[in-house]
Structure 1
Amino acid sequence: MTFAVYKGEEFLDEGTVEELAKKFNVKPETVKFWATPTSYKRDKGNRKIAIRLER
Structure 2
Amino acid sequence: MVRQKEWAVYKGDKFLFIGSTNECAARLGVKNETVRYYSTPTYWRKLEKRNNWDNSLIVVDLSELDLID
Q: TM-score, normalised by structure 1?
A: 0.87
Residues 1:23 and 2:27 aligned together? yes
Which structure's residues are more often helix, by fraction? 2
Which structure's residues are more often strand, by fraction? 1
C-alpha separation in 2, matches of 1:37 and 1:11: 20
- Which has the greater radius of gyration? 2
Shift of 1:38: 1.1
C-alpha separation in 2, matches of 1:28 and 1:15: 12
Q: Which residue in 2 is equivalent to 1:51?
A: 60
Q: TM-score, normalised by structure 2?
A: 0.71
Residues 1:9 and 2:13 aligned together? yes
Question: Which portions of structure 1, spanning 4 or more consecutive aligned residues, are displaced by more than 6 angstroms?
Answer: none
Find 2:43's aligned residue among 39, 46, 55: 39
How many residues are matched?
A: 55
Gaps of 5+ in 2: none
Deviations 1:1-51 (A, max 9, x none): 101011110111111110000011110010000010011122231221110
Percent of aligned pairs with the same amino acid? 38
